[in-house]
Amino acid sequence: MNEEDRNEAPGGENAAEKSGDARKTRGIRFSESEWEEVKRAAAAHERPAAEYVRERILALARAPESVEAGSVAGSMAPLIERMFRYTWFLATEKRGEMIREGRQDELDKLVAEAAAFHESLRSGADD
């Protein structure tokens, strides 16, 4: 794909040149895992990755308040999942340590408090 192909709008018109504002290549860095996420999202929207990134960023820049809250939350899903996994791992390790040290009663109290807190959050969401 050459530079002209990348600027082609549906219908064969060159959108950038038509507007009098030719596109230039800009640099942006992604990790391999981030770029894979972008490619999956772009494929789901049947768009090339670069076009998908450009469309999403321009939509945000033009009207940040119009970006759906769900899409922002969705973009944070990998981070949330990673944090959950780390927290689960650390909590599991700490639990094992407390059991080995004979602190089962303290552990049971912490679990009961966490369960009560969780229930209060759930009942608050039902209101």
* Structure confidence by residue, pLDDT tens digits, 61-79: 887 666 555 565 667 778 8
Instruction: Give this prediction's pTM.
Output: 0.39
Overall size of the chain counted in residues: 127
Q: What is the pLDDT of residue 60?
A: 81
Owning domain of residue 32: 3-66
Domain boundary among 66, 92, 117: 66
**43 and 11 co-located in one domain:** yes
Average pLDDT, integer, range 99-116: 93
Q: Which is more confident, 109 or 7? A: 109
**46 and 95 co-located in one domain:** no
**56 and 7 co-located in one domain:** yes
Q: Torsion angle of alpha carbons 127, 87, 114, 70, nearest 10°? A: 0
**55 and 80 co-located in one domain:** no
**61 and 80 co-located in one domain:** no
**104 and 61 co-located in one domain:** no
**53 and 91 co-located in one domain:** no
**61 and 85 co-located in one domain:** no
Q: How many separate domains does the chain show?
A: 2
* Structure confidence by residue, pLDDT tens digits, 2-48: 444 444 444 444 455 566 788 888 888 889 999 999 999 999 989 99
**Bridge partners for 8 per DSSP:** 14
- Output the six-digit token pair for 58: 């321009």
Q: Would you say residue 71 lies in a domain? A: no
**31 and 56 co-located in one domain:** yes
The answer to whether residues 18 and 7 touch, using CB atoms and an 8 Å cutoff, is no
Q: At what angle do helices 104-126 and 69-100 cross, to 10 degrees?
A: 160
> pLDDT band for position 90 (50/70/90)?
very high
